[in-house]
Structure 1
Amino acid sequence: MRSTREFKKLIMKEQLIVSVQSLINLSLKDIDCIKVLFKEKSVKKGEFFLADGQVCQHVGFILKGLMRYFINQDGEEKTYAFAQENNFVCNYESFLPQTPSTKIIQALEDCEILQISNADLQIFYKSISEGEKFGRLIIGLVFIDLLQDLSSFYTDTPEYRYEKFIKKHPDLQQRISQYHIASFVGVKPQSLSRIRKRISNQK
């Protein structure tokens, strides 16, 4: 009979399998392989999944919790994206060429994740029937989306970024501090309050 811990691990990995199956077809052999290659990891609130200057060695899948992506520009933190449950997290700019990262990924809540190393991902690509297709899709979903978020930080107005945040993450306003939302929008917290008021008055 399985222990409670073993049962919990099975449930956690099923969450990942469902997400992968939304992108590619998986055989029973593929599923068994994925369950072996992805490892459990806890990241406490405030800890880093990826620190500044560190080489990104893993792709993570968030089972529970919330993370943010940010850059440190002249001593000021600029948040440009958030990742929550059922999202993959990675800085592919560092992960693919194995170079030091200028982007930082930090847990905003206690997080439970499943992660796969760069070396094991190569096994994944070779062992899973549609593994390489999955890799291409994930790069499209995560890497390109994050590049667009970062580009938006420099090209879009704060009001537009706030409206985009509400549309993209309607359930996150209660989970993210005003400080981090303001950082994402590109303003000080007091300016965020004025933006919210203007948008509210337009409705």
Structure 2
Amino acid sequence: MEKLKQQIQILFAISSEEAEIFLSEFKRKELQKNEVFIAEGEICHVVGLIEKGLMVCVYNKDGEEIIDEFGFENGFITNYYSFLTQSPSQKEIRTLEPCIVHTITRQSLEKLGNQYPFIERMSRMMNEKLFLRAHDRIQSLLLESAQERYEKMLAQRPDLAQRIPQYMLASYLHVKPETISRIRRKISKHTLLT
């Protein structure tokens, strides 16, 4: 939990004491591989902070899973749309590896926000970060080639290609698995020539 506290301090530019207050309402939870964190159809009432492990957010369209996002160590995970609107989740969030996640309920978060003004500022900063990340993802899908998206993903999360199967990587990048194979061969060939 100490590492998470330090990450929170850096991410939100808050003091050690403020990070302690923020984390005071979080509850530790251990999840096994392939365990559902937020089920499709349920209203999301929690925000998770991943200490260890990897999660995936997936939509189900006619039996096919479409990957929206991954959740990593030291990052928050939730269905933010469901959390804000209190409407049933249209996606499922589940673990890809055994996870340790610390969760806080909407009610506890609101209670903290009412008691401590800095929590409201943190909430605003998180909203801004989520908006910017969503904007970057949409822009990337609309304007960048499959190879550019793959290389950007590797630059941001070099470990991801080793932690997930190729078909999941392809779904996340909105390409066919064979496209990932082609891109990898092309990059490998280019690396050998340089």
- For Structure 1 versus Structure 2, the TM-score category normalised by the shorter chain is 0.7 to 0.9
Structure 2 partner of 1:26:
15
Name the aligned partner's letter for residue 25 of structure 1: I
Identity of aligned residues (%): 38
In 2, the alpha carbon distance for the partners of 1:83 and 1:76 equals 20
Structure 2 partner of 1:7:
none
In 2, the alpha carbon distance for the partners of 1:124 and 1:47 equals 29
User: Which ranges in structure 2 are unaligned for 5 or more consecutive residues?
Assistant: none
Normalised TM-score (structure 2): 0.86
Question: Higher mean Cα deviation, 106-115 or 170-179?
Answer: 170-179
CA gap 1:33/1:92 in 2 versus in 1, 3 angstroms: same
Structure 1 partner of 2:67:
79
Cα shift readout 1:153-183 (whole Å, capped 9, x = no counterpart):
4664322221221111112221111221122
Residues 36 and 92 in structure 2, CA contact (< 8 A), matched pair in contact too? yes
Structure 2 partner of 1:53:
41
Instruction: Name the SS of the counterpart of 1:52 in structure 2.
Output: coil
User: Which ranges in structure 1 are unaligned for 5 or more consecutive residues?
Assistant: 1-11
Structure 2 partner of 1:115:
103
CA gap 1:54/1:155 in 2 versus in 1, 3 angstroms: farther
In 2, the alpha carbon distance for the partners of 1:32 and 1:197 equals 47
In 2, the alpha carbon distance for the partners of 1:144 and 1:91 equals 16
Q: Does 1:149 align with 2:134?
A: no
Cα shift readout 1:51-106 (whole Å, capped 9, x = no counterpart):
21111111110000011122112321111322211011112111012111112222
Normalised TM-score (structure 1): 0.83
Question: Higher mean Cα deviation, 35-44 or 107-116?
Answer: 35-44
In 2, the alpha carbon distance for the partners of 1:100 and 1:200 equals 43
CA gap 1:50/1:156 in 2 versus in 1, 3 angstroms: farther
Structure 2 partner of 1:159:
147
Question: Higher mean Cα deviation, 149-158 or 189-198?
Answer: 149-158
1:150 Cα deviation after fit: 5.4
CA gap 1:111/1:34 in 2 versus in 1, 3 angstroms: same
In 2, the alpha carbon distance for the partners of 1:81 and 1:166 equals 14
- The size of the alignment, in residue pairs, is 190
CA gap 1:143/1:59 in 2 versus in 1, 3 angstroms: farther
